[in-house]
Structure 1
Amino acid sequence: MGLSPAFFSTPLLRGDGREARNLLVYIHVPFCRRKCNYCAFHSQPFDDVHFAWYMKTLMAEIDLWGRRLKSPRIGTVYFGGGTPSLIPPFQLQLIMDALRRNFTFTSGMEITLEANPDSANDKAYFQHLLSMGINRLSIGFQSLDDRNLETLGRPHSARQAAETFYMAREAGFGNISVDLIWGLPRQKPKDWNNELKAVVKLKPEHVSCYGLSIEPGTVFGKRADEGVDLEIPSDDDQARMFIYGAEFLEAYGYIQYEISNFARMGFISRHNQGYWDRMDYLGLGPSAVSTLGSRRFTNPSYLDEYDAAVRGGYIGEDFEELTDEIRAQELVMLTLRTSKGLKLSDYRELTGKELVKEKNALINALYRNGLIRMSGGFLRLTKNGMLVSNSILQSLVFD
């Protein structure tokens, strides 16, 4: 038994009820050479048998959604993981061909692949990616310090990371993002600054900088539960890393357009921006999340359950209905992550309420403490506000 045909009988709608723009497509690749010490994403060790099973099911899922949604127009594709660069080029080509058969590609669309230096280290590999239409890379550096890489459990060196970047550039990639993590064990603000200096010398188009989070179930999480001192930097040092790091990158032409993301003019991640703009997105692969119209669902995480759901035609059947209250919460939480901020009229249109009046005492307190600013009908976090964004958003949305 599959979903009711009525689920697909109307155009995709945005969360606020307006007709959707081009759909975002995310493809989760749940394989890694080994699990990093900080990683909480769903992944498993790569092997030929499970990968073949994954490929067969993924191709069937692409076909299923192409039929259900009647070859919808898509604006971005993002291969995330896990480690998408473990997929051999000819297999990636099969996925790209399946997407083209089942979805309508738009002109100049952004197609991103996450790559790790230990698996993407050949110029010919990058040339293959370009030839099949993949035009943006997100390279997982995480650090350019070998001691940090060892602490994180990364399977590559700082030298390999730089070599991967140069090979991708020589192959012809003109849109490369690099990922970094700050707030690492024993890391000092000057260490973080030195890493940023090394990165800007490479001149990537985009830099993502994520603060280390100790997640349950990870190696770091287990060590913390056992009482091991991870030697995480103090709050003051972390604040310096975030604020001075952002100022440093902006001085080199990288605009902070979201809490953790910096880009040169014209090189923001269109796919990630689509999430913050609350566009519809379709997640393919194990554990991938989708939001279509007012419905959100998550694919099963394990290959056997994922395969059964796709073959049985009931993938997406176990969905959550997004209420107006949930939409309002997500409007605040997503838009305030960006430098553009929350358009107050959007909140009023969705809820019928004035946020400034509703949260007057809190907003005044945040303003007096230099954590927010308001202008042109937008409410925005300052850099100091971004530093403590989680607590601010929690207070605005749930208190």
Structure 2
Amino acid sequence: MLLYVHVPFCVSKCRYCAFASEVMDMDALEAWGKALAKEAAHYGKLLGNPTVETVYLGGGTPSLLPAWAFERLAQTLKRHFNIAPGAEFTIEANPESCVEKDLIGLWRSAGVNRVSLGVQSLQDDVLAALGRPHTAMHVHAAVERLRAAGVPNLSLDLMWGLPGQRLKGWLDTLKAAARLAPEHISAYGLTLEPGTLLAAEAEAGRLAQPGEDEASKMYVNGGDYLEEMGYMHYEISNFGRMGFFSRHNQGYWEGRAYLGLGPSAVSTIGGRRWENPRTVAAYLQAAAKSAWGSGAETLTPEVRGREMLMLALRTSRGMRLSDYKRLTGRDLAASEGKLLGALNQKGLIRIRDGSLRLTRPGMLVSNLIIGRFLFPD
């Protein structure tokens, strides 16, 4: 089983962020910790102290947790779950919060062996435009501290398609990131989410976004460069050196069972899915009533088939057509032969050894391709 813990606290809200997060308050932090311990105890008992193969602390900014809060959290997880030897244990961190050697040492002693560092850019003017609280100098200092603490698996999160960004600027960012020698790089295209400050600026016509052709070159040329540097493109937005792919995220894409703790966290176990209340206040109310797993959805074979297609096609491994047919009864090669042929001719897909895969240009328009399979004319 995979275990995700949502830490909903940040220093401030970034201009593009639509995740469930809020500015950290010590009273809210204390209440969140108690509620999370109660939720963990509930599921630990319900699931019989299940074995956990990956732990992922996401947010928000988990690296903001003070030592006492992180230590309590780590003890809670170990008390209620059987964390397997050799489990991948990831913490998301922001560069400016990786400043205390003792805190990073505490992460390591608790079993953290992978850090996902929210870099986004290595250009200070771009970081300021995004509302990020760090600079490129903070990134270099954070990498140095994490390596000194013996972190063996470092991932850098970067963003492309940013306001005012051009292909050269994106490639310069990738080159600077590669010089830091991380084991893994996530490269996400900027999405203007409703309700964010950047989305409001775009609607008002005050945001100069890269054109479609420029953005396409960023994705394709950026991927080419990272593969030249030894990073395998194993998922739409993820590149890793051999042996350093994200085991936790791969579990999601493979449709494995996962438990989510904390505000807005989602769980999928035993053919059922449920989501926790999004805000801290609503989560605390649910904890007071022990209302865990309410409103769970039963996943039908049809739903599971749609999700298999959406998730498997995100990966370089692709989707086994026989697995899809076994689950849904639908022979995709037969029912969508004309579409598959057209996509193949355009170089957007490949079918080999019984698996359907998207090429890199195909990954760039994956939502359109997957939509055609899910909602055929």
| TM-score category of the 2 structures, normalised to the smaller one | over 0.9
Q: Is the 8 A contact 2:98 2:145 kept in 1?
A: no
Q: Which residue of 2 aligns with 1:20?
A: none
Say whether residues 1:135 and 2:102 are aligned partners: no
Q: Which runs of 5+ in 2 are unaligned?
A: none
Q: Which residue of 2 aligns with 1:66?
A: 44
When the two structures are superposed, what TM-score results if normalisation uses the length of structure 1?
A: 0.93
Q: How does 1:316-395 map to 2 (within 5 A)?
A: 316-395=293-372
Q: Read off the aligned partner of 1:97 and give its amino acid letter.
A: Q
Say whether residues 1:252 and 2:233 are aligned partners: no
What is the number of residues matched between the two proteins? 376
State the 1:229 CA deviation.
Answer: 3.2
Distance 1:123 1:250 in 2: 33
Say whether residues 1:126 and 2:112 are aligned partners: no
Q: Is the 8 A contact 2:8 2:280 kept in 1?
A: no
State the 1:324 CA deviation.
Answer: 1.2
Distance 1:303 1:180 in 2: 28
State the 1:202 CA deviation.
Answer: 0.6
Q: Which residue of 1 aligns with 2:25?
A: 47
Distance 2:213 2:202 in 1: 21
Q: Read off the aligned partner of 1:352 and give its amino acid letter.
A: G
Distance 2:5 2:92 in 1: 11
State the 1:311 CA deviation.
Answer: 3.0
Say whether residues 1:89 and 2:70 are aligned partners: no
Distance 1:398 1:39 in 2: 30
Say whether residues 1:161 and 2:139 are aligned partners: yes
State the 1:306 CA deviation.
Answer: 1.4
Q: How does 1:1-399 map to 2 (within 5 A)?
A: 23-225=1-203, 227-399=204-376
Distance 2:167 2:366 in 1: 20
Q: Read off the aligned partner of 1:358 and give its amino acid letter.
A: S
Distance 1:171 1:73 in 2: 27
Moved more, 372-381 or 85-94: 85-94
1:177-198 Cα deviation digits (max 9, x unpaired): 0000000011110000100110
Higher relative contact order (CA 8 A, sep 6+): 1
State the 1:302 CA deviation.
Answer: 2.2
Q: Which residue of 2 aligns with 1:7?
A: none
Q: Which runs of 5+ in 1 are unaligned?
A: 1-22
2:96 aligned counterpart, secondary structure = coil
1:118 aligned counterpart, secondary structure = helix
Distance 1:384 1:325 in 2: 28
State the 1:352 CA deviation.
Answer: 1.6
State the 1:114 CA deviation.
Answer: 0.2
State the 1:313 CA deviation.
Answer: 2.4
Distance 1:199 1:86 in 2: 23
1:253 aligned counterpart, secondary structure = coil
1:200 aligned counterpart, secondary structure = helix
Sequence identity (%): 47
When the two structures are superposed, what TM-score results if normalisation uses the length of structure 2?
A: 0.98
Distance 1:246 1:25 in 2: 30
Q: Which residue of 2 aligns with 1:14?
A: none
1:312-338 Cα deviation digits (max 9, x unpaired): 222102111111111111000000000
State the 1:301 CA deviation.
Answer: 1.4
Aligned CA RMSD, in angstroms, stands at 1.0
1:93-142 Cα deviation digits (max 9, x unpaired): 21111111111111100010000012122333211210111111000000
Q: Is the 8 A contact 1:124 1:171 kept in 2?
A: no
Deviating above 6 A after TM superposition, structure 1's stretches of 4 or more consecutive aligned residues are: none
